[in-house]
Amino acid sequence: MNKIKGIFTGNRFIYIVLSLFVLLSITLACSLPFKIVWTGSEQEKEQTAQANAAIAELLTTKEPQIDAGSDDDIDQADQTAEELPTETPSLTPSPTVTDTPIPEQLTAHISNNTNCRLGPKDVFTLIHIFLSGDQVDLLGKNQEDTFWYVQDQEGGDIECWIWKEYATTDGNTENLPVFTPPPEPAPIMSFVLTYKTTSGETTVIMNVRNTGNLALQSYTATFKDTVTSETIVVSGNKFGNAAKVSVGNIGVISSNPFSASTIGHQINVNVKTCSEDGQTGKCFSSSINFESK
């Protein structure tokens, strides 16, 4: 009987232990402490108390402990952070603005009627003729400082070269930029003849406009009255009062008086002009027919 009771008691203990583990698992899952009370023999009661004590120890929540070195590390880190120097942002001074002097705009006054060309020589195309009293803005000069590159104050699109001897300025031209002129064109002799008038009914006067790029320095002209067949030949190194006909300009060639009136007659004129005096250098010839009036 005692043997059977011992077996039963042993089995009950096993059941108790198993029950305790089941309850322990449930309690751990729910995080709720519990206490098991057993009403049995003193031995069983003691075993139950021991089990309760074990469970209570397992369920006791312990405060996490920080290693002793951690506090030192934290304090040291805080102290290091406190000891680090604080950088004070430095103000970068604003750059000093330097007033750059603006070059003075020089103005020239045209003192005599003068040609304005694509380049600083007579061989360049005539762009404009400035009259005495006109004003121009100086933009530059050539290397020899004999011509100025100018802009017309009244017509800003006109920019060309003038001979500075026919212009004056009150400013200092030493600081004018030196401009390189375009290359000289190939020399071309060319002109256009037009009838101007007949003076005293016997002297025929012609206009000669230089359309080439070389100045006209001399000429030979043959005038023929086709009604009377009278012919007059003249030559010279001057075109009227001008010593030469510059590119784009107009000169005058006059015949000697015919022996009779030429009014109403057809006149034939043949003119040969040359780039040098005495009908030398490059030459060009042209003819025209018109009625003398």
What is each CA distance from 23 to 2, 34, 35, 58, 62, in whole angstroms?
Answer: 30, 9, 10, 13, 21
Same domain for 170 and 239?
no
Highest mean pLDDT among 8-17, 84-93, 101-110, 183-192: 183-192
Same domain for 166 and 213?
no
pTM for the whole structure: 0.51
What is each CA distance from 167 to 130, 147, 163, in whole angstroms?
Answer: 10, 10, 7
Q: Return d(Cα 167, Cα 106) in angstroms, integer.
A: 12
- Among 175, 201, 224, residue at a domain's last position: 175
Position 213 in a domain: yes
Query: 63-81 pLDDT, tens per residue?
Result: 544 444 434 443 443 444 4
Same domain for 239 and 215?
yes
Residue 185 pLDDT > 90: no
Number of domains in the chain: 3
Q: Return d(Cα 132, Cα 117) in angstroms, integer.
A: 17
Residue 53 in 3-state DSSP? helix
Query: What's the domain range around 8?
Result: 2-55
Position 265 in a domain: yes
Using the CB atoms, write b or e for 150-180: b if 16+ within 10 Å. bebeeeeeebbbbbbeebebeeeeeebeebe
32 vs 246 pLDDT, higher one: 246
Position 63 in a domain: no
Position 92 in a domain: no
